[in-house]
Amino acid sequence: MTRNHSPKSLAVLLRARMHPDPVSPAPPPPAPTAAAAPDPDPSAPPAAAAVRHWLHASVSSSASTALDRFSDGYRSLDRPGRREILRSLAADYDVPRARVRDLMRQYLSAAAAGGEEEEEEHPEAGGGGGSASAMYRMERGLREALRPKYAGFLEAMNAQPGGLKLLAVIRADLLALLGEENLPALRALDGYLKEKLVTWLSPAALTLHQITWDDPASLLEKIVAYEAVHPIRNLIDLKRRLGVGRRCFGYFHPAIPGEPLIFIEVALLKDTAASIQEVLWDDPPTPESEARCALFYSISSTQPGLSGINLGKFLLKRVIEMLRRDMPSVQIFATLSPIPGFMQWLLAKLASQIKLAEAESQDGSLLEGTSSTFRESILFPEEERMIHDAVEHAGGKSGIKLLQDILKSSQWVKSDKLSSALKSPLMRLCARYLAREKKRGKALDAVANFHLQNGAMIERINWMADQSEKGIQQSGGIMVNYMYRLENIEEYALSYLGTGLAHTSSNLLQYIEDLIQFLFAQGTLLDSSGLVPETNAEAIRVARSRGVQTIIATGKSRAAVIEVLGKVNLVGTCVVSKLSPGVFLQALLYSLEHRVALVAFSQDDCYTTFDDNPLVDFFLVYHEPKVRRHKFVFLETPEAISSMLRPHWARRVDGMAQVILIQAQSDVLEVVPLRTSKGNGVKIMLESLCASPDEVMALGDGENDKEMLQLADLLVLCSPMAAR
């Protein structure tokens, strides 16, 4: 039997599994000869010195010839050579800080000598004077000096043919280097390059194109090669993904012709799919006239160097708009997404709990503070029993140890008994991972974070939705549907970005609990001997393992209850006691008893006890919303603060590491968490900006400015601080 192929089919078939490398392979190093000149930099690869020469020429002149020679040279370098060039680019062509400091001193001197206050009050009067002109010139000089030397090089490279593609390669190399060498100069270079790429790759500069079987074979080859979520197996698979009931859209840039920067695959279905098998092997496909759901099942980037540019967000939004316009019957916009970090998180969690349990067992007693912070019950008692029953030779191992052993191999999916035993704990823990586990206030899972910040909600998790080897290893075969409800997209996106709240459907609430408070009155938490019965202790442990916040209210002393809880591995549980209230309650009682105005801040809320002090209105207006912080402020006369309030609260918080006193003004006394200071805030800002303290000018007039002033290179002490 003979088989006929079109030229396109043959081209795609022959090259389907060949991933096009955006970087040319490094050539073999030249053989050394006796006549060869010594390399100027013995530690660098032989070709790196020449590329550094062309880098310097490109930065100095931005000539096309130099840029071309640098581009060719950089592509020819091996990994160590490229890293040498990146270090040089970041360090040797950074902001000229010595010049910036000189200009700042000149500017401040000129401002002081020229009477800047009058000009600020009457700019129209001094606008044409020599003093104002000089100030404008110095300001322009400062702006230019603050621009890194590599800025012009990057902009010139972007204007070169093939330059944008090379910049994407450079950033990919830079991100890889940052993973090993997290240096401020490299971070600054990455931040600047990312900022420029965001501008150059704005949606206005991109073209949305529907990729079909009729596109050139070279383009289809790239779709096969770069599909990152569900590999395209063969021509039949590719044709199905581009055929009836399917869509594939890509973002293209004119500077990188014939290659999408990112592309997304869509299945048109009657309802939301619960497994990837339904999507990839939907034969025959759903008639498009009957489709009600647009399911996004794969989104892939072709340029690793464009990470963090938000191309996926813009592409998803454009595709939803296009499908709404062209297919009115489609009412549901959802995803069937992988959960790439779940199994890694779970195995790490199991390992840490096993290690803590072993440490406690070896010591014969609880490690001080260990259980309060880190120990938790990963498995429910009934889940642990099911796992023990499913394992033939448990060997006396704990449930979490058995679970760890099972998950280290993907063979468990072949056993119906093991799969049945693992379904309940894995689905519950996966729901917790998606909705509750955070990194810097946002979802720990990268895919979840992407969709949640775009305005999606977590709709449903699906058991054995991806039974491929990759799917089992990444997430135990579980996949998740994110739902884009068009009327709520903006609301959900703003809510998530502001508070980190992940909106979930009722389908997910069967696995996770909302915030619950357990209130134990005296006589129910403790038994007649004044101890916590094991049944109560286990109930609290189970609640905490499910992410439930437990609060114990008692009529006994807080210290005594905490001590008793420590005996049953429950140290760290929140305890509220009328006899010994926490710091906030102490402040409230003190304010009411002594009629001292109190203003308290807790996250986004602000509370006050008395409003007859004029400073209360100032604090109510001044405090910043959407900032997670906890502190309280007493407002009194300077005499009362120095003679009564400060000595009293110094005794109250003595030995309590979580609070410190700051007298911001003579009539204001603050009680704030440890490490809360302007100085610490400046340190965080400098780290974010990749700057150093010698670039900081600080102005301060109070005790709470002291740490910040000590940090700064140039400081201005205002009255009354100057007198101190």
Percent of the chain with pLDDT strictly greater than 90: 47
Characterize the bridge pairing of strands 246-252 and 207-210: antiparallel
pLDDT of residue 557: 65
Percent of the chain with pLDDT strictly greater than 70: 74
SS3 78: coil
pLDDT in tens, 678-695: 777 777 777 767 777 777
SS3 652: helix
- Domains belonging to the chain, first-starting first, are 48-108+137-201 (1.20.140.90), 203-337 (3.40.630.150), 341-358+374-510 (3.40.630.150)
* Percent of residues in the chain assigned helix, strand, coil, to nearest 5: 50, 15, 35
Phi and psi at 627, nearest 5°, equal -120, 125
- The Cα–Cα gap between 285 and 291 comes to 10
pLDDT at 76 over 60: yes
> What Cα–Cα distance (Å) separates residue 92 from each residue in 98, 359, 386?
13, 50, 62
Min mean pLDDT across 4-13, 483-492, 535-544, 684-693 is at 4-13
- The Cα–Cα gap between 46 and 38 comes to 10
Min mean pLDDT across 15-24, 271-280, 579-588, 625-634 is at 15-24
457 close to 492: Cβ distance less than 8 angstroms: yes
pLDDT in tens, 349-406: 999 889 888 877 776 544 444 443 456 778 888 899 999 999 988 788 899 999 999 9
Crossing angle of the two packed helices 64-76 and 163-178, in degrees rounded to 10: 50
pLDDT of residue 285: 86
Element (H, E) at 661: strand 659-665
More confident: 122 or 236? 236
Is 337 annotated as catalytic?
yes
370 close to 535: Cβ distance less than 8 angstroms: no
390 close to 417: Cβ distance less than 8 angstroms: yes
pLDDT bucket at 660, cuts 50 / 70 / 90: low
Cα within 13 Å of Cα(613), Cβ side: 21
Positive or negative: CA dihedral 673, 676, 677, 679: positive
pLDDT bucket at 9, cuts 50 / 70 / 90: low
Q: Which residue out of 58, 71, 88, 337 is catalytically annotated?
A: 337
Q: What is the DSSP letter of 644?
A: I
Is 361 annotated as catalytic?
no
Instruction: Tell me the two tokens of residue 564.
Output: 């008793």
Q: Which residue out of 451, 475, 545, 677 is catalytically annotated?
A: 451
Phi and psi at 602, nearest 5°, equal -140, 105
- The Cα–Cα gap between 384 and 399 comes to 5
pLDDT in tens, 608-636: 776 666 665 655 555 444 444 567 788 88
Min mean pLDDT across 163-172, 508-517, 707-716 is at 508-517
Is the previous residue joined to 284 through a cis bond, with omega within 30 degrees of 0? yes
